[in-house]
Structure formats: C-alpha cells, structure tokens
A = this chain, B = another copy of it.
C-alpha cells in the first residue's frame, strides 16, 4: 500500500545528473544572497532599482482596468498575438518617430519587461562561447540572461561620457582571436547607464553607429531610463543613426509601473520574425490585460505629464543624494553626476573592497550593490558601488548616505 498522506516522508532526488549543461552557467549571484540581508525594515536600501511606489498612478490604473474590462473585456482577458496588442504596438512605434526612426507596428514586439527582451536576444543570437561587447561595468541582468546561453564578454572602458567606443575595434579583434569568429553584438546603455549613471555623448553615439557599421556588428541599445532626464538636452538614441542594425529596448517599468511587466523591442522587421518565434516558444505572448491597460493609459495622453512629475521628484532625490555624499563621505571618495535615471556610481578608497564592506554597511543599516557584480568578467569595480536614488524619500537618502559615511570612516580608521 502506497502512503499518500500529507505527512509522509518524500525522498529527495539527486537532480544533478538530469539537468542540462546550461544550468552550470546559471549560478546564483552572490548579490541575491546579499540582498536578502536588506529585507529588514530598518535598513535603508540603495541596492534595488525600484521606482518610488508612492508615485504609482493608482487612480489612472484603476480607471484603465475598469474601462478596459467594461468596453472590451472579452478581448482584454483572452489569448492574444505573440507580437503584442496592435494599438499598443502602434503607439510604441509612433513614439520612435520623434527620434527619426520610422518604426511601424511590425517593428515592435511587446515583452515581459525588458529582461525578457534580453533573454530573447540571447536565444536568437548567442551560441556557447560567443562574445558580446559591453562596457565595464554593465547591466547585471543582461549578463545573467546571456550567461545562460554561454556568452563570453569582451569589455571596453566607461568614463563620464559613457562607453569608450574607440576601444570597440580592439575588443572585436580580441573576440575574433579568442573564439575564431566575430562577437555577436555591442551592448550599450546610452542614457543614465545602469550602474554607472553616465550618458553616452552625442559624438560617441554617432561614432558607435559608424564603428558598428564598419565592423558589421548589431547594436543592442537598452534604454529603460531615457524618459527620466533631470538636466540637459535629450540625445537621439543610437538607433536613430543605424536603425537597420539596432535592437532598441524600452520598458514601462520605470515610467508607468513595474508590476504590469511590460517592455518592448524595436528592431528591423526581418529580425522581428525571429524574436516572435522565440517568444512564441517562451510564453506565447505577454499578458493581454496588462497590455490593454497600458495602452489605455498611453492613448489618453497620461504618460507625458506623469513622467514630468517623476522627473521633478527623482531630480530632487538625485540632488539630495549628491549633496549628502558631499557632506557625509570622507575624502578619497568620488561619484558620478547622472543627468537622469535611477542610479549613481560611487568609488571609495582602494583599500576598501565593497563586497567585504557590505556586511559593515548592513550593520549600520544601509545597503548598496557592490561594484564587482557589474563587471561581466569580475575584473573590476572592487572599490565601487551602485547607489539607487529613486526609491527612498529624501530624508531617508540623507540618513542612508550619512550611515554609509560613518561605516566608511570606521573602515578607514577615521572614527
């Protein structure tokens, strides 16, 4: 007689021999373990990349839900096309026209946030051992997505003007030398870089387009924060110059809300067909209801004034953080001055390893992401950290930076 009771003893299987070779490349990042420490309510966390929840447009989302359900509920709750909801794709395509990118709906695929776009790019482009060219540091979620496909990385430096694009040719040659084939694409975060907070200069954008064309390399342009500029002039995205070779990624996570889980890809139609096939196998399509709700909000013209409001609030938070850093941190530290986005990148004296230092910071009830996590080859960022300024209100920003200052001074023997 088999015991099927709820308190029976269930054997534990060794799953190791059953798994794919791929899982060995999908290691739990140290960062995830670190971040668990930051869940305590008395910790001020600059670690996540969360938008400010008190700014979520609750009333507008509720109104859009009601309207969508009442007027087209049978379609909004049904299966939908893999490409996404056509009116939303139209709206997104049109939003590229101001940059001189003549996108039409057939150039747009709606994804589950831009993380899924990164995953689909991995699926469609990367064979094990292939190289990708990124800046050093670069966005950690991209590394995580592409590691699963066996990507390797050739990196170029990043300075106050963003990715040092003149090093790309050298990175290309190293890739060819080490793998016997060209790298798969150049990954760039032109606006308010995650984690560095820097913006790629206009000159470098044009130069990047030229270099990519000369080397016949695709460009993956990740632009989650472009709308969140707090000073200076908007710059055209790289896809303005080379739409034929750019895969542009956008998201509603930072402008509308992350919880709808909506991002999108804009790319040439011939390539779109590949992404659609990959997405079909991955999850059929992005949630219909979320797309209808976002579309309703966009079509009503609500997004623009809402983004104005976000800019005002986040600008104040950025300024607060910059002032607090100047006031509370010891000498020998430096940080970037982001013109927008959610993050800045701080460097502390080289004697401090920010991964080691993390525990001391948590003792002082404050958290950040250690810089090394953003180096695809783990070869830098040891004395750097990423600080988020969008999530915490100003008084918490001041207090958190003060606490970090105290921890740094203790570590340096100054207190």
Contact = CB atoms under 8 A, between A and B. Distances in A.
Interface in A230-262: 236, 240-241, 243-245, 253, 257-261
A4 B209 CA distance: 13
Interface stretch (A6-14, A298-306, A322-330): A6-14
B281 A144 contact: yes
B290 A77 contact: no
A40 interface: no
A79 interface: yes
Contact of A69 (B21, B48, B58): B58
B123 A22 contact: yes
A243 B74 CA distance: 37
Contact of A257 (B8, B26, B78): B78
Contact of A76 (B5, B21, B78, B259): B259
A127 B22 contact: yes
Contact of A6 (B102, B111, B259): B102
A186 to B, nearest CB: 12
A86 interface: no
B7 A77 contact: no
A274 B26 CA distance: 8
A281 B119 contact: yes
A115 interface: yes
A270 B26 CA distance: 15
Interface string A51-74: 101101010011001100110011
Of A21, A273, A287, most B-chain CB atoms within 10 Å: A287
Nearest to A51: B78
A77 B102 contact: no
B281 A77 contact: no
Nearest to A22: B123
Contacts of A79: 48, 50, 253, 258-259
A77 B26 contact: no
Nearest to A120: B282
A245 B115 CA distance: 30
Contacts of A333: none
> What is the oligomeric copy number?
2
A125 interface: yes
Contact of A77 (B11, B125, B257): B257
Given A22-B124, A102-B7, A259 B80 contact: yes
Interface string A186-224: 000000000000000000000000000000001000000
A415 interface: no
Interface stretch (A145-153, A351-359, A362-370): A145-153
A79 B268 CA distance: 30
Interface in A82-106: 97, 100, 102
A30 interface: no
Nearest to A276: B28
Contacts of A26: 274, 277-278, 281
Contacts of A78: 50-51, 53, 56, 257-259
Contacts of A18: 125, 184-185, 218
Given A13-B270, A18-B218, A77-B257, 14 more contacts: A4-B241, A6-B100, A10-B268, A13-B218, A15-B271, A28-B273, A58-B73, A61-B69, A65-B66, A77-B258, A78-B259, A79-B253, A115-B281, A148-B278
Interface of A: 2, 4-8, 10-13, 15, 18-23, 26-28, 32, 48, 50-51, 53-54, 56, 58, 61-62, 65-66, 69-70, 73-80, 97, 100, 102, 111-113, 115-116, 119, 123-127, 130, 141, 144-145, 147-149, 184-185, 218, 236, 240-241, 243-245, 253, 257-261, 268, 270-271, 273-274, 277-278, 280-290, 292
